[in-house]
Amino acid sequence: MAVETSGIVVMKGETGPGVHVTVIADSGRLRIESSTGVVGDWSVHDIGLHVLDEGFAIRAEGEEFLLKTDDDVGLAEELGVAAASPRMARKLAARHNPEGPLPDEAPVPAPKSSLSAIGVAIAGALVMLGAILINTSPFTGEFDAGSQAVGRVPFWLAFLLGGMLMVGMAYLISIGRRWARPVALLVTALVVLFFGLLVNRGVPEVAALTAYGFVAGGMVIGIAVLVGGEPGGDD
């Protein structure tokens, strides 16, 4: 389909407003007419045509000039040179899809926050530290928390494994694995369950309170981060 539009021709090396012309593009030919006659009528293959951000640089019959039109996009599309300029290609895409944004103006997804992953990692580290302290703290009273177990698994080992899993899930959350969050929540819930079973065995010695505090702190942070979530995060 032919494209006819108005434009201005400015010869290379000249200054001033240029010459007003009528530009017609049809079937691979470019025709430029002024008020005094035909400026040129060429096949696009016979001229040097360079697409600019605004307009075209043309070399034909030994002359070089700049052509700016009211419909650069339509002209470039008809001549088959729209893809020669990224800016022109974007304008052409917007012309065919007026309701969509230009490719370089498409909304950029907000980066996923790493606060959830950091929070779960900190929670897991606290639980592991508490587990180590429970295992190494000296107990002299009738309640030896380090020897209490779930079946054959000592509580301190259950906490250690739970903390390690939480840290592992924190890494998976940070790289966008959606299933890692509910798994981390399940592990945290199990740690809470084991902690409840442990404290119900009796009153621990003062030496164990610090260890209990680390485990409890890890549980609180883990639950707060995983249940509460975070604005703009990975929920």
Q: Tens of pLDDT along 116-139?
A: 889 899 999 999 998 888 778 665
pLDDT for position 233: 43
Tell me: do 123 and 195 sit in the same domain: yes
- 206 has pLDDT over 50: yes
Q: Which of residues 158 and 104 earns the better pLDDT score?
A: 158
Q: What is the span of the domain harbouring residue 127?
A: 115-228
Flag whether 233 is in a domain. no
pLDDT for position 232: 41
pLDDT for position 28: 82
Tell me: do 145 and 188 sit in the same domain: yes
One DSSP character per residue, 159-222 reads HHHHHHHHHHHHHHHHTT-TTHHHHHHHHHHHHHHHHHHHHTT-PPPGGGHHHHHHHHHHHHHH
- Categorize the per-residue pLDDT at 235 as very low, low, confident or very high, splitting at 50, 70 and 90: very low
Tell me: do 140 and 199 sit in the same domain: yes
pLDDT for position 133: 84
- Categorize the per-residue pLDDT at 150 as very low, low, confident or very high, splitting at 50, 70 and 90: low
Tell me: do 80 and 122 sit in the same domain: no
Flag whether 235 is in a domain. no
Mean pLDDT of all residues belonging to the chain: 79
Tell me: do 134 and 218 sit in the same domain: yes
Looking at 105, 124, 142, the residue that finishes a domain is 105
Tell me: do 77 and 132 sit in the same domain: no
CATH value at residue 29: 2.30.29.140
- 3 has pLDDT over 80: yes
d(C-alpha 2, C-alpha 39), whole Å: 18
Could you report the per-residue pLDDT of 86-123, keeping only the tens digit for each?
776 677 677 666 555 544 555 555 445 578 889 899 99
Could you report the per-residue pLDDT of 29-73, keeping only the tens digit for each?
899 999 888 888 998 888 888 888 788 888 988 889 989 899 888
Looking at 51, 73, 105, the residue that finishes a domain is 105
Taking the model in full, what pTM does it have?
0.48
d(C-alpha 179, C-alpha 169), whole Å: 9
Could you report the per-residue pLDDT of 165-181, keeping only the tens digit for each?
999 998 888 888 889 88
Looking at 105, 128, 153, the residue that finishes a domain is 105
pLDDT for position 151: 66
Flag whether 234 is in a domain. no
Q: Which of residues 17 and 91 earns the better pLDDT score?
A: 17
How many domains are there within the chain?
A: 2
